């Protein structure tokens, strides 16, 4: 067996060959770790889809009203980059959406984290806020848009307030469960080492809750990104959501498709950035 040729790293990366460890396994069906990346198929499907797009563009198989041609889309992208959309540069549309998300998450955290801590540490706070939090938790943020428009109109405050609410309850629940997850033996150990209540809050309960708080921030970012795009579809003159909505009114399918792609890529980038930050900032996560 050992004289078998070692598969190249490229072959393993592509998923054509198994690693030498997986190859020795006799039971593969049902062992999830024995399923390799199959990357070769990922590459093939992407190539096939792009080829299909090129073919349909060249032969005009689909009306550009339904799906843009590839050359038209590329031209449009260059135009968006150089001239912007409706006198606003593309980066500004993207930037303002991201700015709204970050503001919403920031305010949501500033209020939600202390609130969650209070709920995890005091019966009074828990009793006071539990009905509100549990009532708000299952409501999709988008359902609040009409009420917020009635309250604030459709200006910037309205959008940030909506995102603030979207992240507030996620952050409150994350902080609360972070506090409740502290092992009592850690708190006991700290008391026996002479720590005061305030010191225990700062040096035991807070760091212990950080992993869950961070997961909360990550979830908030994702939810707020989805919410901001949807809110901009309803009412806004800047932002990626509004960009694709206005483009739709002008039947610019290529801008719509580009906008959707950008929305997807940014959502993915946010998730990746948060995971990276989490590994850097909270390396002890799950190691208690």
Partner 1 sequence: MSGIVLDKISMVYTLNDGGEVHALDDVSLDIADGEIVTVLGPSGCGKTTLLNILAGFLSPTKGEVRVEGKPVTGPGPDRGMVFQQGALFEWLTVSENVSFGPRMAGKPKKEIAETVAHLLDTVGLQGFGEKPVYQLSGGMQQRVALARCLANDPKVILMDEPLGALDALTREKMQGLVLKLWKEFGKTILLITHSVEEALFLGERLIVMAPRPGRIKKEFRLPFADQGLSKDPRDIKAAPDFVRTREEILSMIWEMEEQIMGQSESETSE
Binding-site ranges for partner 1 (CB under 8 A): 183, 185-186, 188-196, 199, 203-204, 207-208, 210, 282-284, 287-288
In this structure, the number of other CB atoms found within 10 A of the CB of residue 174 comes to 26
Give 87 or 185: the residue with its C-beta nearer to partner 1.
185
Distance in angstroms (rounded) separating the CA atoms of residues 263 and 98 = 10
- Min dist. Cβ of residue 210 to partner 1 (A): 7
The DSSP call for residue 251 is T
- Min dist. Cβ of residue 193 to partner 1 (A): 4
Decide: residue 60, CB within 10 A, 0-12 exposed, 13-18 middle, 19+ buried: exposed
Rg (CA), the chain: 25
Give 6 or 183: the residue with its C-beta nearer to partner 1.
183
Give 68 or 216: the residue with its C-beta nearer to partner 1.
216
Give 60 or 283: the residue with its C-beta nearer to partner 1.
283
In this structure, the number of other CB atoms found within 10 A of the CB of residue 273 comes to 12
- Min dist. Cβ of residue 186 to partner 1 (A): 6
Distance in angstroms (rounded) separating the CA atoms of residues 179 and 113 = 10
Q: Which of 279, 92, 241 is nearest to 162 (CA)?
A: 241
- Min dist. Cβ of residue 216 to partner 1 (A): 17
Give 138 or 286: the residue with its C-beta nearer to partner 1.
286
- Min dist. Cβ of residue 187 to partner 1 (A): 9
């Amino acid at each position: 067996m050992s004289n078998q040729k070692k598969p190249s790293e490229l072959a393993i990366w592509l998923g054509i060959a198994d690693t030498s460890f997986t190859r020795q396994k006799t039971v593969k069906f049902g062992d999830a770790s024995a399923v390799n990346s199959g990357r070769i198929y990922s590459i093939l499907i992407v190539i096939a889809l792009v080829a299909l797009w090129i073919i349909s563009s060249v032969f005009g198989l689909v009306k550009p009203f339904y799906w843009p041609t590839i050359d038209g889309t590329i031209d449009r992208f260059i135009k968006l980059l150089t001239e912007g959309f409706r006198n606003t540069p593309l980066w500004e549309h993207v930037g303002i959406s991201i700015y709204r998300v970050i503001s919403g998450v920031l305010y949501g955290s500033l209020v939600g984290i202390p609130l969650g801590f209070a709920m995890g540490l005091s019966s009074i706070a828990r009793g006071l806020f539990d009905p509100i939090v549990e009532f708000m938790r299952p409501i999709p943020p988008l359902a609040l848009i009409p009420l917020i428009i009635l309250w604030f109109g459709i200006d910037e405050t309205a959008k940030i307030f909506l995102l603030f609410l979207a992240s507030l309850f996620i952050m409150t629940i994350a902080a609360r469960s972070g506090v409740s997850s502290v092992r009592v033996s850690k708190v006991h150990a700290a008391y026996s080492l002479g720590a005061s209540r305030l010191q225990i809050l700062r040096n035991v309960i807070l760091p212990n809750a950080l992993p869950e708080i961070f997961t909360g921030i990550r979830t908030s970012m994702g939810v707020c990104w989805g919410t901001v795009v949807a809110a901009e579809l309803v009412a806004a003159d800047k932002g990626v959501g509004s960009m694709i909505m206005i483009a739709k009114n002008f039947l610019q399918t290529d801008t719509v498709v580009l906008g959707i792609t950008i929305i997807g890529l940014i959502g993915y980038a946010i998730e990746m950035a948060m995971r990276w930050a989490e590994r850097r900032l909270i390396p002890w996560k799950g190691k208690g």
